[in-house]
Amino acid sequence: MEPTAPHAPAAAAGRPAAAHPGQHPGQHAAQQPSSEVSTSPAQGWHVSHLFYRFDRARLASLSPEVRAEGIRLFCEALDPAGPLAPTRLQTWLVPGHKADFGVMAMDPSPLKVDDVHQRLLAGPLGQALEATYSFVGLTEVSEYVPTVEQFGERLIVEGETRDSPTWKAKVQGYAGREDHMRRARLEPELPPWPNACFYPMNKKRKVGENWFSLPFAERSRLMAEHGRTGMTFGGRVTQLITVSVGLDDWEWGVTLWARRPEFLKEIVYTMRFDEASARYAEFGPFYTGYISTPAEVLAHCHVA
């Protein structure tokens, strides 16, 4: 999606807007209060991906009493059913040197999401934790997900006859799924699958490969092709796309959950042949995860 500029006071071309009474020329007018001021999005949730590594030397310096209390508070901070937990909270074991574990948190309130990070650092184990990577964003419904009306028009372009029994059946079927699809993107459930990965991505803005200079119809066509490829992995892989345009260094974040680890490899490899990915996508670091309880993370990392 393209970010839009906030509305500015109208001014004649080439002249600054008139100052308010008592305001010196060149001073900015006071911002008018909005009728809706909130840190929660009008729809959807804040999402943070957080990754950490244990500092073994500092862990070794903790007394048994401090270590035991730290373990208790660590598990409490990452308990998805805890009284202070955000709406969705998940912990991953992360293999390799990038991190020891990761946390995914979602909630309408950004402060409730960030509180998970703050509680981890504030606990006794916090002095032995190194934050290695974070990514923040919002859930959204992609602009390329058609409305019922747009879906019906697309069918006509593809050769269907308006108001034919086939056209009506397809449109009614899509209408029945649309609300569920939008809710699943804005307020997603976490699938009960053990394998996951996260990576950030951009769309290119290079000469000859500028996604944002393409007409909407062309971008929509490319994303429809990309979506059809993804749907072939239904029942094996679930994905969540979060938007970070204006919020973080990359434009989108992609989270994948899979029934088996090889499905992660297969979907990423297969979808890279789609033109939307092969020609226009840039990818950041990948973080592989295996869904675990906080206690399992501590045991695997030889902390508890």
Residues with catalytic roles: 199
Chain-centroid distance of CA 261 in Å reads 21
Question: Is 265 strand, coil or helix?
Answer: helix
Location of structure tokens 């600054």: 16
- Tokens 């911002």 belong to 31
Q: Which residues of 224-249 are buried (b: 16+ CB within 10 A; e: fewer)?
A: eebeebeeebeebbbbbebbbbebbe
Distant-in-sequence contacts of 224-228, Cβ < 8 A, 24+ apart: 224/144, 225/274, 225/275, 225/276, 226/271, 226/274, 226/276, 226/277, 227/144
Distance CA 105, CA 86 (A): 7
